[in-house]
Amino acid sequence: MIRARQRGPLGYTHRMNDETSIHAGSPADAQLKESLKHIVRTNDHLLSLLMLVRDEGLPDAWVAAGAIRSAAWDHIFEARTSIPRADVDVVYFDPSRARPEHDRDIEQRLHERAPATQWEVVNQARVHEWPENQARGMTPLRSATDGIATWNETATCVGARCLNDGTIEITAPLGLGDLFAGKIRRNPISCPRVYERRLREKRWQDHWPKLKAYRASDLET
């Protein structure tokens, strides 16, 4: 049953299923955010990465996507060994630095401080200019969270950051219901073909067998 319709950054209205929309911004979602903050706070390696990004002083910056999602699944499903994750996605929002060269400079500085990590930094103020996003009709985003909200899987649409006082903040524009329920589900505004390819290539269930993967068409299951 459909509970809500939301307008996304691609400029059209999309529908969210109950299990996602009911959590976004709800009291239950707030509780899940507290749980995720605990997971991040007690993961020494992940926390150190958040602190490195914080020290860059980037506006509206988050460590996001797989680094956060996988750390949560390791904790939730008590994975005995973590998948080696050398790559870390960092997003921020700064219209004044909307050239790729700026992102490469940030990646280089981060690499110098954590050379074992492959950093991928993307200013979300410029992603609407990418050819694939222009083809999809993406309008300019207003925040890093707007960009996170466009990613392929609902459970991947999550970010975390550490403030100067040590406070952990979480952004999860589609809610945390699917992440904590172990559900791999396509974001309704993402490309079905890309989602299916990622399911095949990422092989998440090999490491976390209790995950439940949905086909691209199963948005309302």
Supply the pLDDT for residue 104: 95
Token pair in block for residue 22? 């009911």
In sequence order, which ranges of 56-203 are alpha helices (DSSP H)?
66-76, 100-113, 131-135, 144-148, 177-181, 192-202
Supply the pLDDT for residue 86: 66
Mean pLDDT per 10-residue segment, the chain (221 residues): 32 35 72 96 95 97 96 88 73 90 95 94 86 73 94 97 97 96 94 93 93 84 48
CA distance 94 to 60: 8
DSSP 102-119: HHHHHHHHHHHH-TTSEE
pLDDT in tens, 113-164: 999 999 999 999 988 876 676 667 778 889 999 999 999 999 999 999 999 9
- The whole-model pTM stands at 0.84
Token pair in block for residue 12? 């059209």
What amino acid occupies position 162? C
Which secondary structure element, helix H or strand E, spans residue 171, and what is its range? strand 168-171
CA distance 192 to 210: 23
Phi, psi angles (nearest 5°) of residue 122: -135, 120
Phi, psi angles (nearest 5°) of residue 36: -70, -35
What amino acid occupies position 193? R
Supply the pLDDT for residue 9: 38
Asked if 47 and 40 touch (Cβ cutoff 8 Å), the reply is yes
Token pair in block for residue 175? 């809610």
Supply the pLDDT for residue 47: 96
Supply the pLDDT for residue 16: 36
Supply the pLDDT for residue 81: 58
Chain-centroid distance of CA 166 in Å reads 21
For 146, counting Cβ atoms within 10 Å of its Cβ (0-12 exposed, 13-18 middle, 19+ buried), the class is buried
Token pair in block for residue 85? 């994750």
